[in-house]
Homo-oligomer: A and B are copies of this chain.
Amino acid sequence: MSVSIVNEQSITIADGIKLDSGRILAPITLVYETYGTLNETASNAILVEHAWTGSAHLAGKLNENDTKPGWWDAIVGSGRLLDTDRYFVICSNVIGSCYGSTGPASTNPKTGKSYNLTFPVITVRDMVRAQKLLIESLGIERLLSVIGGSMGGMQTQEWATQYPNAIASAIVLATTPRPSPMAISLNAIARWAIFNDPTWRKGEYKHSPKDGLALARAIGHITFLSDESMDAKFGRKFSARDGKFDFFGQFEVERYLTYNGYSFVNRFDANSFLYLAKALDLYDVTWGYESLSEAFSRVTAPMQFFAFSSDWLYPPHQTEEMVACLRELGKPVEYHLMTSSYGHDAFLLEHEAFSPMVTKFLNDVATARGC
């Protein structure tokens, strides 16, 4: 059963945080939502990490008239994968984003104006650094679990390596220890598409640079799909509205990407898109360590990994590299390679396939903790 109406909450940390870059970001506001009830020992909290363009609005509706539930509603609620009768579920918007947490569109207290490009470059580790303060403020010393896919998986890995004592388990989906140069180059052209839009004005836009942002999103969108899923959904169908020999005639897949690209403009900020793309590219779980092995030697919590066969953005072999390393270190790790045609998006769409494994993994951890 879906959770009912939820309220967005927020916390502001006046002192902010010191970022990986050495700069201070202060104050920091974090927007978050919670579902279920924190138990007396504060031992049943699960933090869900969102991906690139996600938000704190994980599940339920914000008001009666809300037409769409949160971004991963299907797995949160009474009797669902993240069972709100048993667990206290938290989701917070990352810093750098545009859904309420401090990001480039926020007001720089020193100038009274939006940061725009004066916003500092942030890393995935910085996002988690901020979340740690939120979790502490909620009176939670140790999370029962952290779960996330894609950029959410990266954050989960940061929890496991940076705050090993603050989590009892971690569930990582469709991610990588560090994006490959192919993944970086695809983000690079998405950035370039925005830079090319004259209305972007080096971040000082009044209205969203829509043509550039829509194109940037379309590039990202392609990387979330697969040859197979596109073939099943569109094949080589040509738009019924266009002539095949019209210069501007479009294939269905092209029309779909255009439509979705322009829809995205209404819900996301261009500068946030750029800052988060940068954080993705810079991401490296070994940052500050000599090797993957050194970084993962810090892990204490059992980790469960999922990779998806048709994910070409963060292909399974990248997850397998981490799993092999953890096994070699003798860490408790579980790995599932899921067969799916949905590409990178599979982590959001294939929840029915991975739910049994996650349910069991969570139940084991929860039972051991007595919750």
Q: Show the binding face of A for B, using Cβ within 8 Å.
A: 20-23, 117, 120-121, 178-182, 184-186, 188-189, 192-193, 196-198, 211-212, 215, 218-219, 222, 225-227, 230-231, 233-236, 244-247, 249-251, 253-254, 257-258, 274, 278, 281-282, 284, 312, 315
Q: How far is the CA of A258 from the CA of B245 in the complex (A)?
A: 32
Chain B, residue nearest A211 (CB): B196
Q: How far is the CA of A197 from the CA of B247 in the complex (A)?
A: 17
- Cβ contact within 8 Å between B278 and A185: no
Interchain CB contact (< 8 A) of A121 among B181, B219, B247: B247
Kindly name the residue among A211, A227, A282 whose own CB sees the greatest number of chain B CB atoms within 10 A: A227
Q: How far is the CA of A186 from the CA of B190 in the complex (A)?
A: 12
Q: How far is the CA of A227 from the CA of B315 in the complex (A)?
A: 10
Interchain CB contact (< 8 A) of A231 among B180, B196, B230, B249: B180
Q: How far is the CA of A21 from the CA of B184 in the complex (A)?
A: 40
- Cβ contact within 8 Å between B219 and A189: yes
The smallest beta-carbon distance between A205 and chain B, in angstroms, is 15
Q: How far is the CA of A233 from the CA of B181 in the complex (A)?
A: 9
- Cβ contact within 8 Å between B184 and A196: no
- Cβ contact within 8 Å between A253 and B188: yes
Query: If the complex has contacts A245-B21, A247-B117, are A193 and B215 also in contact, measured as CB distance less than 8 A?
Result: yes
Interchain CB contact (< 8 A) of A185 among B182, B249, B257, B315: B257
